[in-house]
Amino acid sequence: MSEKIGKILAIDDNEDILFALKLLLKNHVELIQTETNPEKIPEFLHNENYDVILLDMNFTKDAISGQEGFDCLAKITGIDPDAVVVFITAYGDAEKAVKAIKLGATDFVLKPWQNEKLLATISSAIKLRRSKSEATDLKKKQKAISAIQDQPFHEFIGNSPEMQQVFTTIKKVARTDANILILGENGAGKELVARALHRNSLRKDEVFMSVDLGSIAETLFESELFGHMKGSFTDAKKDKPGRFEIASGGTLFLDEIGNLSLPMQAKLLNVLERREITRVGANKSNKIDVRLICATNNNIHTMVQDESFRQDLIYRINTVEIHLPPLRERVSDIPLLADHFLGIYSKKYRKKIKGINADAMKKMSQYQWPGNVRELQHALERAVIMSDSDILESDDFLLTTRSEKVAEIEIDTYNLDEIEKNIIVKVLKQNQGNVTQAATILGLTRTSLYRRMEKYGL
């Protein structure tokens, strides 16, 4: 081993053995820690990620069975299934070596050891540990991809001219690496557009990482997006990659980007310009390769004029803009969407519902749908659950235009924060504290409404 690589934990009841190991390995590995008490193994494993654990087979004087070592091995693999353990003992024989390997050990070294042989064994064990870690990361990545592909309702539904224009744009830009900005109201399907772009891109076999920026506290922004090193702050118990690193090679979807504060916008812009991230507490940066898709329900161009959103950042994120129309502007898609959700929920709740009558369909077509497709989906699910008939009727859909009542709020101040607070209080009261319904009426996500409620102490 020409350069220092790997972290080693050595457990042996003989302090002379541990001293010799430390003397030999200190010039070859990044870290060598020693301990005589095997009971402290869990404490060590919870505080550090070791590449190799050198483990004595016998800790009690005159013990030669190796059972103590086997018990410690079970404890280690119970905490870290990918742990690489090398047994080290003066009483080695073929039978115990075979048993050790069967129980999960990687190798077997005899005392007194030959220095070169021990170094070669540790070097191979470190490489094995790295391979195991890579395999585990790959499995997690593939699991994430499978979960995404198996998600329900990932299909895009719509025959209206407005949606056909969206589909055309997706086809044109999907196979490029152009940064996309999706504009549209809450519930209109912005994440569906992002997923469709990913599924039709050259990165379709890589990770699609969705991040709700509205739910990330400003104090955790860098840690969540760029990652952190162990010990960089109080709760940083271990190294953690950020969303940019995890998504590297694939697609990163930043939802609610219009909610970012100016300081966070500056940090994001810096990463996009350099195409590299630096974890919190790290000295070196890592290159990243992501296809960036952003979305917002805010009027982001007005925000640029008001200087609440950086103009240089919007240049970075919107090589192409996709405007997703609200459901009230594509009324012709409502029957198609309604039939789609009816089929899904009839099957889910084992109901034999054949269709929706004309009065119910007219009622849905005349409704404004402030919550867009998400609200329509919820309405169909509720109607299917509550209906006792084989045809959904008008009375099965509780669609009330409560937004008109909000306009009756008397304004006795010109302070915008006070006005917003009063409106939120009014809508929450009208909906008996139901945050989901209140958020729909206000045109907000639940997360955004919770943030405003926290801001105003509600």
Last residue of a domain, one of 381, 396, 411: 396
- Does one domain contain both 185 and 292? yes
Angstrom distance (rounded) from CA 454 to CA 433: 14
Q: How far is CA 11 from the centre of its chain?
A: 37
User: Is the model's pLDDT at 402 over the cut of 50?
Assistant: no
User: Is the model's pLDDT at 162 over the cut of 80?
Assistant: yes
- Does one domain contain both 292 and 354? no
The CATH number of whichever domain residue 27 belongs to comes to: 3.40.50.2300
Q: Which two three-digit tokens encode residue 448? A: 């955004």
Residue 22: partners with Cβ closer than 8 Å, 6 or more residues away: 10, 32, 34
- Does one domain contain both 354 and 428? no
Q: How far apart, in Å, are the Cα atoms of 126 and each of 7, 121, 134, 230, 248?
A: 8, 9, 12, 20, 25
- Does one domain contain both 304 and 256? yes
- Does one domain contain both 125 and 252? no
User: Is the model's pLDDT at 48 over the cut of 60?
Assistant: yes
- Does one domain contain both 275 and 202? yes
pLDDT, position 375? 92
> Using one digit for the tens of pLDDT, what is the confidence trace for 66-118?
677 888 888 888 888 888 998 887 765 556 767 777 787 888 887 788 888 88
Expressed as residue numbers, the domain containing 438 is: 403-455
- Does one domain contain both 278 and 353? no
**Which of 5-14, 85-94, 305-314 comes out lowest in average pLDDT?**
85-94
User: Is the model's pLDDT at 53 over the cut of 60?
Assistant: yes
The CATH number of whichever domain residue 191 belongs to comes to: 3.40.50.300
Residue 141 lies in a domain: no
Q: How far apart, in Å, are the Cα atoms of 50 and each of 57, 125, 234, 340?
A: 19, 11, 21, 52
Model confidence band, residue 337 (pLDDT cutoffs 50, 70, 90): very high
The residue that leads in pLDDT, 444 or 52, is 52
- Does one domain contain both 315 and 247? yes
Mean pLDDT of 361-388: 92
Model confidence band, residue 152 (pLDDT cutoffs 50, 70, 90): very low
Instruction: Name the range with the highest mean pLDDT among 27-41, 83-97, 149-163, 400-414.
Output: 27-41
Last residue of a domain, one of 323, 349, 375: 323
Residue 428: partners with Cβ closer than 8 Å, 6 or more residues away: 434, 435, 438, 458
Residue 105 lies in a domain: yes
Note if the pTM is more than 0.75: no
Residue 314 lies in a domain: yes
Last residue of a domain, one of 396, 411, 438: 396
- Does one domain contain both 256 and 289? yes
Residue 145 lies in a domain: no
Mean pLDDT of the chain: 85
Report the percent of the chain where pLDDT is more than 70: 89
The CATH number of whichever domain residue 383 belongs to comes to: 1.10.8.60
The CATH number of whichever domain residue 435 belongs to comes to: 1.10.10.60
- Does one domain contain both 210 and 256? yes
Q: Are 248 and 242 in contact (CB under 8 A)?
A: no
The total domain count for the chain is 4
Q: Are 391 and 356 in contact (CB under 8 A)?
A: yes
Angstrom distance (rounded) from CA 184 to CA 22: 62
Angstrom distance (rounded) from CA 209 to CA 11: 41
- Does one domain contain both 85 and 122? yes
Residue 138 lies in a domain: no
> Using one digit for the tens of pLDDT, what is the confidence trace for 199-254?
899 999 899 999 999 888 888 898 999 998 888 887 788 888 899 999 999 999 99
pLDDT, position 411? 59
pLDDT, position 334? 94
Residue 179 lies in a domain: yes
- Does one domain contain both 169 and 122? no
User: Is the model's pLDDT at 404 over the cut of 50?
Assistant: no
The residue that leads in pLDDT, 281 or 94, is 281
Residue 2 lies in a domain: no
Residue 204 lies in a domain: yes
